[in-house]
């Protein structure tokens, strides 16, 4: 009677233990927001450099995507569309993630001076979506934004 090769048996046992655990590992979650029952995959801009660059120099954005700008405080916010190449909706939210105002169908701007679009009231979050999404969702002041990281 031949005995099994011990290193092979040990490797097989180790593999049998590792594979089920690896199969349970969760894939990294894609950040998203939910508004009025619709979910959008988002990029998050929460430092000065990311907020300054935003969606500049992009030709387009998938319909179910957006960019969420996060600030540390509530303040009047003004955004412009310099070097943005497609129209967008800008949705401004307070610290409780309640919608306070919307700038709809903001056109792309490729030449100076580009106009600024104001929040109209202190805001902590700004969500940029493709133009027409705010109307499609039927958003109104007070609607709540859910953020998933």
User: Residue 130 maps to which CATH number?
Assistant: 2.60.120.1140
Among 64, 78, 72, which Cα is nearest to 35's? 64
Domain assignment present for residue 128? The answer is yes
Does any domain span residue 111?
A: yes
In a domain, 34, yes or no: yes
Question: Model's pTM, two decimal places?
Answer: 0.79
User: Is 127 contained in some domain?
Assistant: yes
Task: Give the range of the structural domain holding residue 50, as residue numbers without chain letter.
Answer: 29-148
| Residue 75 covered by a domain | yes
16 falls within a domain = no
Bridging pattern class, strands 38-45 and 65-75: parallel
Range list of H helices, 4-149: 6-24, 48-53, 133-137
Find out whether 69 and 91 touch, Cβ atoms under 8 Å: no
Contact 126, 147 (CB under 8 A): no
pLDDT (tens place) for every residue of the chain, 149 residues total: 455 554 554 444 444 444 444 445 555 579 999 999 999 999 999 998 888 888 877 788 999 999 999 999 999 999 988 888 899 999 999 999 999 999 999 999 878 899 999 999 999 999 999 999 999 999 999 999 999 99
User: Is 24 a member of any domain?
Assistant: no
* Structural domain contains residue 2: no
Q: What is the tally of structural domains in the chain?
A: 1
């Amino acid at each position: 009677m031949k005995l099994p090769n011990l290193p092979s048996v040990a490797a097989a046992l180790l593999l049998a233990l590792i594979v089920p655990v690896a199969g349970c590992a969760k894939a990294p979650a894609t950040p998203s927001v939910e508004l009025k029952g619709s979910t959008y995959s988002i990029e998050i801009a929460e430092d000065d450099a990311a907020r300054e660059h935003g969606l500049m120099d992009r030709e387009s954005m998938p319909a179910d995507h957006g960019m969420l700008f996060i600030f540390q405080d509530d303040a009047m916010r003004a955004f412009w569309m310099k070097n943005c190449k497609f129209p967008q909706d800008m949705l401004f939210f307070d610290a409780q993630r309640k919608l306070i105002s919307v700038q709809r169908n903001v056109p792309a701007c490729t030449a100076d001076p580009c106009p600024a679009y104001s929040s109209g009231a202190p805001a902590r979050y700004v969500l940029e979506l493709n133009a027409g999404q705010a109307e499609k969702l039927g958003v109104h002041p007070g609607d709540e934004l859910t953020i998933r990281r």
